[in-house]
Every structure is written in structure tokens, then in C-alpha cells.
A and B are shown apart, each in its own frame.
Chain A
């Protein structure tokens, strides 16, 4: 039981490049989330998916798109990366929307030059 997995662990992009961050969970959870964490800051919600087939914006959605590919997988895409998107990205999941315990992945450390 791997929990929440994220790929890649590290990535360096040039301004304007695109990339997709992958997230998968094997706990049969219905809801999934993408957060970003800037140095010395708390986490901020980018997008979430309350259930398969639905996605909604969080606090800081600009510059990102998401896809809930199936119940297990939730990807985050940067279409045209900017230095302001340099951050650590965390994916999380819960059994139900509003579930008490969010399970987090290990994070993807992204640097945009």
C-alpha cells in the first residue's frame, strides 16, 4: 500500500516550458487535492477534485490546469511555467470530500528558471 505517490520528485524548467505533475493514490479515496508550498510558508490549495469527474478551483488556480484521469489519478499541468511557480507541490487525498484526514504525498520540488 503505497499511499499517495507523486512524480517527478524534482524538476527544473525554463520559463515558458510546460509540464505535468502526476499524482496517484491506492487507498480508493474519492477526493484529491493539489497544494503548493513556497519557502517558509504554509500550504495553499491550487485545485481539488471532490469526486471522479469533478474539479474545482482553490485559492491560487491561475497558471494551472488539472485533470482527474480516473479515481486513482489527479494531474496538475503548468502550460507556460513562470519563475513565480517555483515551489514544492503536494498532492493529497481523502476518503470523502470533507474527510477528516488528508493523506499527503512526498511532494515535487519544481524550480522555474
Chain B
């Protein structure tokens, strides 16, 4: 699986959009980009995933660059409850195991 690089931390104002970057310059053509988050002391929670096209669901939007070497997770209206560690993970969806969690980005939403 390709490795990812994320900033260690970022702050965001409540009500504003939070844009979380992720670099995955060695991504292969059949690898997907996944985002999970972990709110303090809880189990990780799936947010969204994508291959090439931009994706949106009720939680977030995922923007993948045309060369697929980087992506951005967008939380459109951050709330205090979005304070968490966000993990960007690249993997082949057909793998039958293993999400490789790195250190992630600690996002703090401030009132």
C-alpha cells in the first residue's frame, strides 16, 4: 500500500470549512484513498473513500487531484464535535485485511 503524508495538526474555526490535505505521491492506479477519524478514546469511524472522482456524502467531501498524488478532505461546516484525529489511508479495496493507520492529523475546532 502507498504511504501517505499528513500535517500533524491543524486548527479550524467552528462553522468554517476545514480542509485536510494528504499527499500520496506513490499511489498505484488500483489504490483507493480512504479517510477515517478517531474522536478521543473512541474507535475509528469511516468518513469517505474514492478512487479518481471527487466524492461527497453527508459527512464530508473528498477532492482527489487529477494525477491522484494528493487529496483533500473537506468538512464543510466544522463543529466542536469534529475535533478528532483524521487518518488518510491508501489501499487496494480488494485486499482482505489491513487499514494502515499512520499518525494522522489532529484537528482542533475552536469556538
Residues of chain A at the chain B interface (Cβ within 8 Å): 4, 31, 33, 35, 40-45, 48, 50, 56, 58-59, 90, 92, 97-98, 100-107
Contact = CB atoms under 8 A, between A and B. Distances in A.
Given A92-B43, A107-B43, A97 B96 contact: yes
Contacts of B32: 100
Given A98-B93, A100-B93, A43 B46 contact: no
Interface residues of B, number: 23
Contacts of B93: 98, 100
A100 B96 CA distance: 10
Given A41-B103, A42-B103, A107 B97 contact: no
A41 B85 CA distance: 11
Nearest to A106: B43
A45 B97 contact: yes
B49 A42 contact: no
Nearest to B91: A98
Interface of B: 32, 34, 41-46, 49, 87, 92-104
A90 to B, nearest CB: 5
Contacts of B41: 107
A43 B98 contact: no
Residue of B44, B49, B96 most packed against chain A (CB within 10 A): B96
Residue of B41, B43, B87, B104 most packed against chain A (CB within 10 A): B43
B49 to A, nearest CB: 6
A14 B46 CA distance: 35
Contacts of B42: 104, 106-107
21 contacts: A31-B96, A31-B97, A42-B87, A42-B101, A44-B101, A45-B97, A45-B99, A48-B96, A48-B98, A50-B97, A56-B97, A59-B98, A90-B43, A92-B43, A92-B44, A97-B96, A98-B94, A100-B32, A104-B42, A104-B45, A106-B43
Contacts of B44: 43, 90, 92, 102, 104
